Amino acid sequence: MPVPLLSSLAGPGAVDRADALTVAGQSLSREELLGAAGAVASRIAGAASVAVRADATAATVVAVVGGLLAGVPVVPLPPDAGPAEREHILRDSGAELVLGGGEDADVPVDPRERADFSAVAEDPKTTALILYTSGTTGAPKGALIPRGAVAAGLDGLAEAWQWTAEDTLVHGLPLFHVHGLVLGVLGALRTGCRLVHTGRPTPQAYAAAGGSLYFGVPTVWSRVVREPDAARELSGARLLVSGSAALPAPVFRDLERLTGQRPVERYGMTETLITVSARADGERLPGSVGLPLAGVRTRVVAESGAEIGELEVSGPTLFTGYLGRPEATAASYTDDGWFRTGDIAAIDPDGSHRIVGRASTDLIKSGGYRVGAGEVENALLDHPAVREAAVVGAPHEDLGQEIVAYVVADGVSEKALIDFVAGHLSVHKRPRRIRFLEALPRNAMGKPQKKLLPPL
C-alpha cells in the first residue's frame, strides 16, 4: 500500500528508474528503496521512536522511509554529534533504537535488503520526525513534526516552484535538518522527482550533477559564485533555491550574472517548515523571501508606527510542540494561536516578505546551522580550565555569522577549547575564534553584558 506522505514511492503511475535516488554515489530505484525500507520497518514496528545516525548516505534515506512506513517517529542524529549532544538527544527523545549503516547501530540498515511491509494507516496528526533544534539557552529541544505538516509544506512548495516528477533535484545538505531531509529527501519522494545528493555541497559537485532544481544555504551559493566556471554550469537549471539564512544581495546578483537567472529565496524554521517563498512564476528580488505558501498566514507585530516587527505565522505546516516541554511550547505561541518565529520582518504592500534580523542575538546562524549561544557556553564551561564564557555570532562573509567565544580561563589554548566543543557537541557548533578576557563585562545584578564585550 502506498504511503500517502510519500505518494510517489509506490503509488499507481509512479515512474521508476534505476537511479531514482543517488546519495553520495549510491543509486537506488524507488522499488529498491521501498523494499529496503520495508526490511527496516518490519524490524522497528511498534517502537515508540527510533534514532537514525543521519550521515549523507542511501542508508539514512532507507532508515527514514522505514520509520515512515512503520509509523514510528524518526529522530535524526547528527553523525558528528559528540557524546554530550548524542546522549542528550537519545535520552530526551526516548528513542529505543539507533538505526544506521555503520557497525555501531542497534539496527543495521542495508540498502540492498528487500522485504514487503504493509504500511500503517496514515494519520496526518502522528509524528513523522522529531527534529532537535537549539534555543537561546540550554540543550536543544525536540520539535515534533506531524506527517500532515510535512505533506502540506511540500505540496505548498511544489505549487510555488512548479516542482514535478520531471525535475532532478540536486543538493549536498546534511540529512538531519528541515532543509536537507524534509525538502531535500522527502520533497523528492513526494513529488516523484529524481534526487542527486552530492555528499558535500561543493561548487564542483553541483556543477557536475546536471540537475534542474538546486538547493543550497547562502554559504553554498557564495562558494558557488566564487567559482565562476562551476557557477556557469548551472545556467541550464530551472530553479536555484536559497534558504536557511539570509542570502546576501551581492551573492544574489553574482548568481544572476553568472547563471542568467535570479535565485528563488524561501524562509522557514524547524518548527514551522517552510512558510514563505518566492514563486517560480513570480518576482525574485534580493532581500525578499516572497509570499506565504498555500494555507499559511503571516502577520508582523510591530510597535505602533513601526513597519518592522516580529513575524508570526499560522497554518498547516506547523509543528505540534516541543517534546516533553509544554511550557516552552506554550511560550512559542501567542494567546490567539500564532507561532512566534523570533524573526524580525517587514511585509511590503505587495505582500512580499523581507526578513531583517532576529529578536534575540543568542540564536546564531552559521553556515545555515542554528546554534544557541547558551549551549556553546555550557559546553565551554564543562572544560575544567574555563571559569566564564560568553558566546556571540559575529558577521562573517562566508558563514553569515561565525561563532565567537569570549572566555575567562586559566592555561588553555584557543585550539584546545575549539576542539573540546567540536568533540562534545556537533563539529559545526564549535567556536571559530576564542578571545581570552580577564573578566566578562557584567551589570550591577552580575548578568553578563554581551553588548559591552570588546571588539575582536
Backbone angles phi, psi at 33, to 5 degrees: -60, -45
Q: Contact with ligand AMP (CB under 6 A): which of 233, 265, 312, 375? A: 265
145: contact with ligand AMP by CB under 6 A: no
Quick check: helix, strand or coil at residue 31? helix
Question: In which order are the strands placed within the sheet that holds 107-108?
Answer: 107-108, 97-100, 50-53, 74-77, 127-133, 141-146, 321-322
358: contact with ligand AMP by CB under 6 A: yes
**Stretch of 77-85, 264-272, 278-286, 421-429 contacting ligand AMP, by CB under 6 A:** 264-272
Quick check: helix, strand or coil at residue 14? coil
Per DSSP (E only), the strands in 78-183 are 97-100, 107-108, 127-133, 141-146, 168-171
Q: Contact with ligand AMP (CB under 6 A): which of 370, 424, 429, 430? A: 370
Q: Contact with ligand AMP (CB under 6 A): which of 53, 171, 365, 429? A: 365
310: contact with ligand AMP by CB under 6 A: no
Least distance between ligand MLC and beta carbon 125 (Å): 22
The grid coordinates listed for 373 are 549561544
The contact set with ligand MLC (CB under 6 A) reads 80, 173-174, 177-180, 201, 217, 219-220, 243-244, 268-269, 367-369, 418-419, 422, 427-428, 430
Q: Contact with ligand AMP (CB under 6 A): which of 209, 246, 313, 407? A: 246
Cβ atoms of 222 and 203 closer than 8 Å: no
Cβ atoms of 165 and 11 closer than 8 Å: no
343: contact with ligand AMP by CB under 6 A: yes
Least distance between ligand AMP and beta carbon 322 (Å): 12
Cβ atoms of 32 and 216 closer than 8 Å: no
43: contact with ligand AMP by CB under 6 A: no
Our CB check for ligand AMP shows the closer of 59 and 245 to be: 245
Q: Contact with ligand AMP (CB under 6 A): which of 22, 57, 60, 133? A: 133
Our CB check for ligand AMP shows the closer of 14 and 344 to be: 344
Query: In whole angstroms, what is the distance from residue 380 CA to residue 409 CA?
Result: 10
Least distance between ligand MLC and beta carbon 364 (Å): 12
H/E stretch holding 27 reads: strand 26-28
> How many residues bind to ligand AMP according to rule CB under 6 A?
20
Q: Contact with ligand AMP (CB under 6 A): which of 3, 58, 188, 245? A: 245
Cβ atoms of 256 and 283 closer than 8 Å: no
Q: Contact with ligand AMP (CB under 6 A): which of 206, 214, 215, 267? A: 267
Query: In whole angstroms, what is the distance from residue 215 CA to residue 113 CA?
Result: 30
Our CB check for ligand MLC shows the closer of 30 and 370 to be: 370
Least distance between ligand AMP and beta carbon 178 (Å): 5
Least distance between ligand AMP and beta carbon 66 (Å): 24
H/E stretch holding 163 reads: none
Cβ atoms of 152 and 135 closer than 8 Å: no
Residue 355 interaction partner, one of ligand AMP, ligand MLC, none, beta carbon < 5-8 Å per kind: ligand AMP
Query: In whole angstroms, what is the distance from residue 42 CA to residue 34 CA?
Result: 12
Backbone angles phi, psi at 312, to 5 degrees: -120, 145
The grid coordinates listed for 77 are 542524529
Q: How many residues appear in the chain?
A: 456
Least distance between ligand MLC and beta carbon 175 (Å): 9
Q: List residues binding ligand AMP (CB under 6 A).
A: 133, 177-178, 243-246, 265, 267-270, 289, 341-343, 355, 358, 365, 370
